[in-house]
Amino acid sequence: MKDQPLLGQVALVTGAGRGLGRAYALHLAKLGADVVVNDLTLKAHEEYGEALTADSVPKEIEALGRQGLGVEADVTDRDAVEEMIGQIDSKWGRLDILVNNAGGALFGEKAFKQMFDLNFHGTVHCCEAAAQIMKRQGAGRIVNVGSQAGILASQGQSYATSKAAVIHYTRCLAGELGPHGINVNCIAPGFVLSSRAIAGGRDKGELKDRLVAQIPLGRLGLPEDCAKVIEFLVTDLSDYVTGQTINVCGGYVKC
């Protein structure tokens, strides 16, 4: 169906219990995919008071007429990731889309080990496990989530460096998996109004004004702005695109 190009496909979105990951999961479901929602806890939305339309994100997906599966797992734990991918394989026998969203600037500026474990190694664990199914299928789409900080070094040494590693890993992995029919790309969000960002005051006052003044399009990003770019990267619109990083920043990143 033209309005549901992902009908019959299975997607995994990590860090999808709230915020940007939730937006990606719901958008993919609206496009027809059955979606696996991964997070440390499926109650992640409660931390920042994010209102859901159902008891959990998997339930929201089911309300859209698609199958939703919630898996609580830590992506920094390779064994837990492999168990999650095995669960998906057992249920559906396929995995078409992986969106590596889990991560964030959750530690101090020089907390390199913790930041790399979360942002980089978690992405690697999921890519390596998912690629086994995608290779078997001879097809798949992987979208890693970097950050403008990984391009401009604009937000703390450890976070910026870990996201830069994700961006370069995307290029390397695209070369490795391309011969297997697997596209690997990355998005680099700018200043987006996630529930965590809103809780931190990004949506008002001096902080908002200062950020907006640096954005040519004159507004902060919305989770759906990023979800639409992911739609491009996981549908046939991007069949000949791999190894690329797309800045979703309203023009803030100019390189």
* Residue at 73 is within a domain: yes
pLDDT at 166 (0 to 100): 98
**Locate tokens 């990951």: which residue?**
21
pLDDT at 1 (0 to 100): 58
Instruction: Work out the mean pLDDT of the chain and round it to a whole number.
Output: 96
Mean pLDDT of 227-254: 97
For residues 88 and 167, give the distance between their C-alpha atoms in angstroms, rounded to a whole number.
26
Query: Binning pLDDT at 50, 70 and 90, where does residue 3 land?
Result: confident
* Residue at 204 is within a domain: no
How many domains does the chain fold into? Answer: 1
For residues 185 and 171, give the distance between their C-alpha atoms in angstroms, rounded to a whole number.
8
* Residue at 180 is within a domain: yes
Percent pLDDT > 70 in the chain is 99
* Residue at 214 is within a domain: no
* Residue at 206 is within a domain: no
Mean pLDDT of 117-128: 98
Residue 153, pLDDT > 80, answer: no
Q: What are 175-202's pLDDT values in tens digits?
A: 999 999 999 999 999 999 999 999 999 9
Mean pLDDT of 67-81: 98
Mean pLDDT of 70-85: 98
Question: How many other CB atoms are found less than 10 A from the CB of residue 228?
Answer: 13
Instruction: Tell me if 104 sits within 8 A of 133, measured CB to CB.
Output: no
Mean pLDDT of 97-118: 91
The whole domain housing 152 covers 10-192+222-248
Q: What are the beta bridge partners of residue 247?
A: 188
Least confident range from 87-96, 98-107, 219-228, 232-241: namely 98-107
* Residue at 201 is within a domain: no
pTM over 0.75: yes
For residue 162, the SS3 value is helix
For residue 222, the SS3 value is coil
pLDDT at 220 (0 to 100): 98
pLDDT at 141 (0 to 100): 99
- Which residues are part of the catalytic machinery? 159
**Amino acid at site 238:** S
* Residue at 72 is within a domain: yes
Give the H or E element holding residue 132.
helix 122-137
Considering only CA atoms, which of 105, 109, 106, 92 is closest in space to residue 36?
92
Mean pLDDT of 45-72: 97
* Residue at 212 is within a domain: no
CATH of the domain at 187: 3.40.50.720
> For 152, what's the count of Cα atoms within 13 Å in the CB-facing half-sphere?
15
